[in-house]
């Protein structure tokens, strides 16, 4: 193989192997990035069996339970049970001034000025 010279008489480096290697590495990296993104966003989830949840034997039969069939007593909530103070406080609506765009930096809007 003869070395090529440029217009000034200097030898030109043969970079065809390096260019081919960079192109192959770029293509492999693009494919790997695409596969990783597809796995991350769940595009392959339909090919794998679900691992969470539990079996629902009452729904696996040929007929669906009707409106006259109820859950066993120990699965039904007690509507007459008293609500604890902690639960009542957790369900209380949040009150206070509404957040605005003109708030001071570092200021807490839930506390009065």
Q: What are the pLDDT digits (tens) for 68-78?
A: 777 777 788 88
Of 80, 79, 59, residue with least CA distance to 69: 59
CA angle 30, 34, 36 (to 5 degrees): 115
Q: CA 36, CA 42: separation in Å to the nearest integer?
A: 10
In this prediction, residue 64 carries a pLDDT of: 74
Is 0.85 surpassed by the pTM of this model?
A: no
């Amino acid at each position: 193989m003869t070395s090529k010279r440029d217009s000034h008489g200097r030898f030109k480096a043969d970079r065809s192997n390096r260019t081919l290697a960079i192109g192959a590495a770029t293509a492999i990296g693009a494919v790997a990035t695409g596969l990783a993104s597809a796995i991350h966003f769940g595009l392959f989830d339909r090919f794998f069996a679900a691992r969470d949840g539990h079996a629902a034997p009452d729904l696996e039969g040929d007929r669906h339970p009707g409106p006259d069939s109820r859950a066993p007593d120990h699965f039904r909530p007690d509507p007459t049970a008293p609500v604890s103070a902690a639960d009542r406080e957790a369900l209380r609506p949040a009150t206070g001034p509404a957040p605005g765009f003109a708030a001071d930096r570092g200021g807490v809007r839930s506390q009065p000025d």
